[in-house]
Structure 1
Amino acid sequence: MARQVQTAIWIKQGNHSCQLQNAEQKLLNLCDAVDDSKPSWKIPLKNCIKLNSGDADIQKLPPKPQRLLVYTESLNNIGISQEKFILDTNFWKDQVHHYWRLMNISNTQIRNVMDMNAYWGGFAVALNMFPVWMMNVVPICMNNTLSAIYSRGLIGAFHDWCEPFSAYPRTYDLIHADHLLSHYKDKREGCLLEDIMLEMDCVLRPQGFIIIRDDASIFSRIKGLAPKFLWDVKSYMLEDKQKKMEYVLICRKIFWAIV
């Protein structure tokens, strides 16, 4: 015998008139506007709701992939000029071309990619031409650029790389770390380079790649530690954003062999 169940369907309105009316009647609390600029990292939940004043602007943005290349108000709010935005987009497009050439792989060998220091998502935008799933990570100890990543239609999250990263249910074929490790150098007591490298190794698949751009002092330590993780490390020279040559490490995780 069939049983009947009650179903409630809630439709979220396109404006905030209902929430504002309930707030006036003291039926709910509104969050402080200053909370919009704070990273939601280890912040206790509050008994309030957030009204996004930028909803109207977001609705005017074009769909992907056109949205990836649009200069938004979120970028302006975090101090990124349109000129800097264009230069960053073109820079990472060129770097991705160099990366694939140096790794000597086909366009379909990389499926899941993580940018450990995503800034405002330029590296992810450059990978839009490939069939990849992209995770952008904004380190909690750096500038809060997550709003700009979301405005470009990208996926992102805050994280502290001194702590484990929950990669379930996927691991990664490519991890990108642009001037991340030197930032954590002596940043926190008890947070060692070895710990961050171990976390990178945990979320990386066998035969996966790690691309590291950083200071020369960091490279010497990585090369010394890499054999312990069974990473095959090669160094190359590529241009940075100031058109100066800098070292780039491309590491590959090899299979463990029982002998």
Structure 2
Amino acid sequence: MTTNETGDLRSAGVVQVLDVGCGVASFSAYLLPLDIQTMSFAPKDGHENQIQFALERGIGAMISAIATKQLPYPSSSFEMVHCSRCRVDWHENDGILLKEVSRVLRYNGYFVYSSPPAYRKDKDYPLIWEKLVNLTSAMCWKLIARKVQTAIWVKQENDSCLMHNAKMKLISICDTVDNIKPSWNTPLRNCITRRDAQTNSQKLPPRPERLSLYSESLIKIGISKEEFVSDAMFWKNQVRNYWKLIDVSETDIRNIMDMNAFLGGFAVALNTLPVWVMNIVPMSMMNTLSAIYDRGLLGAFHDWCEPFSTYPRTYDLLHANHLFTH
């Protein structure tokens, strides 16, 4: 991984991380002081309730699993996807789950895979590793580090490699799809998306500069820069008024959900406070979640006709602006 001599992930361009099978989200907790935003998820566990514990720690997390449907996040949203003992069989089913990782991973982003040391004694491990290497090579990822049971790949921007491997029938290239459509209840696709079909090719600045970025994602859905700036100013003033009305200490509120986030202006206005915000874009609304991720924020698609994937009483504040009118 291309970091400075201190190993600071920010120097490798990492701003947003997806932690698969996160446990109690200790990896996310480690990244908090670095201002690296981490979306952590794991399946519901009737014995340990790890996501509940993560949320009680004040860490952004949700109940989810990578199985048969696309994750509720836009394409090209994360600079790193992390899997440490996440119990996902990436090598199975022609690597379809790994191809979902490729969908949400930005170009030049990293996939970090760490398996339990006990796996070294598993007679099937060499075969599993060989399948992983073959799959990632076919997807034109580059293995840049391997030590003990940890390996790191980078998703290279190499369109000629993808087209060559597709011609050799090592992978399939996805048909051009409407990336404006939210990835909600969408079946997994056993194919790789090329750069020219990606939603965003813009070079993004680091945080905090990224918070005020007017991105290509907004241009593509018809949001003007004037509307973007106006939204930011509105929420800056509104949040100040909210805090006066609520009349609580800054440390009394930690977990916040914006149930109809639009451009993420509410979350940006809260950036100086010790809180984290789950930005929800309803699947029936305009798809602004890509732009929210472009601003260095976190969120998910959701249908409010269904329950959200979390435990009871895990948020300190729910914000519902124009939610019930749609």
TM-score (norm 2): 0.51
* Equivalent in the alignment of 1:71: 214
Residue 145 of structure 1: aligned partner: 288
Task: Name which of 126, 134, 137 aligns with 2:277.
Answer: 134
Q: In terms of mean alpha carbon deviation, does 48-57 or 71-80 score higher?
A: 48-57
Q: 1:14 aligns with which of 156, 162, 170?
A: 156
Residue 9 of structure 1 deviates from its aligned partner by 2.9
Shift of 1:120: 1.3
- Whether contact under 8 Å (1:74, 1:148) holds in the other structure is yes
Alpha carbons 2:200, 2:217 under 8 Å: kept: no
Q: Give unmatched runs, 5+ long, in structure 1.
A: 184-259
- Structure with the larger RCO, 1 or 2 (CA within 8 Å, 6+ apart): 2
- Does the 8 A contact of 2:232 with 2:269 survive in 1? yes
Q: Among 118, 131, 134, which residue is 2:261 paired with?
A: 118
Kindly name which structure, 1 or 2, has the bigger radius of gyration based on alpha carbons: 1
Map of 1:103 onto structure 2: 246
Partners of 2:267 and 2:277 within 8 A in 1: yes
Match of 1:23 in 2: 166
SS of match in other structure, 1:50: coil
SS in 2 for 1:135: strand
Contact 2:200 2:216 in 1 (8 A): no
8 A contact 1:16–1:51 mirrored in 2: no
Give, in whole Å, the separation in 2 of the partners of 1:169 and 1:67. 32
CA RMSD of aligned residues (A): 2.4
Give the letter for the 2:293 counterpart: Y
1-structure distance, mates of 2:266, 2:248: 18
Contact 2:179 2:199 in 1 (8 A): no
Structure 2: how far apart are the matches of 1:4 and 1:137?
Answer: 38
CA 1:4–1:109 in 2, change beyond 3 Å: closer, same or farther? Answer: closer
1:36 and 2:179 aligned: yes
**Percent identical across equivalent pairs?**
57
Greater shift, 70-79 or 162-171, is seen at 162-171
Question: Could you give the per-residue CA deviations for residues 174-198 of structure 1, whole angstroms, max 9, x where no partner exists?
Answer: 1100111121xxxxxxxxxxxxxxx
TM-score, length-normalised on structure 1?
0.64
CA–CA separation in structure 2 for the residues paired with 1:4 and 1:10: 17
Partner-residue secondary structure (3-state), 2:308: coil
